[in-house]
Chains A and B, each alone.
Chain A
Amino acid sequence: GENVEQHPSTLSVQEGDSAVIKCTYSDSASNYFPWYKQELGKRPQLIIDIRSNVGEKKDQRIAVTLNKTAKHFSLHITETQPEDSAVYFCAANTNSNTGKLIFGQGTTLQVKP
């Protein structure tokens, strides 16, 4: 079946450094790739998304890149801050009609001050 693999499962960086989280997907028909941030005890919040008609999207310190040929996409956070510490989930849609998303396993990011 369809799946999304996410790496690494944990990531620790020093404040000010960059963080990169990578995901691969299996369904070649996937065309929508959101990223969610979930702080402890809180709801997942959409931080950025990308559609398959573009290769890169940026929003301030956050960027996402997509390689359709290789079926992988990555989240890049620059100038990390302690408040970036959270669990980050990538996802890919598998059915454009129903909005079904398959999520990665999550990456726990710790930004050390």
Chain B
Amino acid sequence: ETGVTQTPRHLVMGMTNKKSLKCEQHLGHNAMYWYKQSAKKPLELMFVYNFKEQTENNSVPSRFSPECPNSSHLFLHLHTLQPEDSALYLCASSQGQGVKPQHFGDGTRLSIL
């Protein structure tokens, strides 16, 4: 299944680097999500976009900056990250917001040195 594609799959960066994560969905959905998955913690919602507009920011630090240029693409720009930001970052999409099934990508495994 390649409905939601994330790149890169793995990323190692220093705390002073700037990098971006990319998500693309081929399902014709119009809502997209960023989640953080850390070891021994539940999946945490970070951001929600619907028709390119941000509708949810779950108190995420400003060192994470999302961008949604259209309904098919979602980016997460990273700068000045901390070691505790090391995690699996998952993108998801759904056909509309609300009570709609969310479909996940394979994630980007991020390691901060």
Is chain A's interface secondary structure helix, strand, loop, or mixed overall? strand
- Contact size range, A: 20 to 34
Give Cα A89 to B102, complex, Å. 13
Flag if A97 contacts B55 (CB, 8 Å). yes
Are B97 and A101 in contact, CB atoms less than 8 angstroms apart? Answer: no
Q: In whole angstroms, what is the CA distance A49 to B95 when docked?
A: 15
CB distance from A29 to the nearest CB of B (A): 12
CB distance from B102 to the nearest CB of A (A): 7
Interface size on B, residues (CB 8 A): 27
Interface residues of B in 57-113 (CB under 8 A from A): 58, 90, 94, 96-107
Known: A43-B104, A46-B103, A99-B99. 7 other contacts (CB 8 A): A45-B104, A46-B101, A46-B102, A99-B98, A99-B102, A101-B43, A101-B45
Chain A: minimal CB distance from B33 (Å) = 7
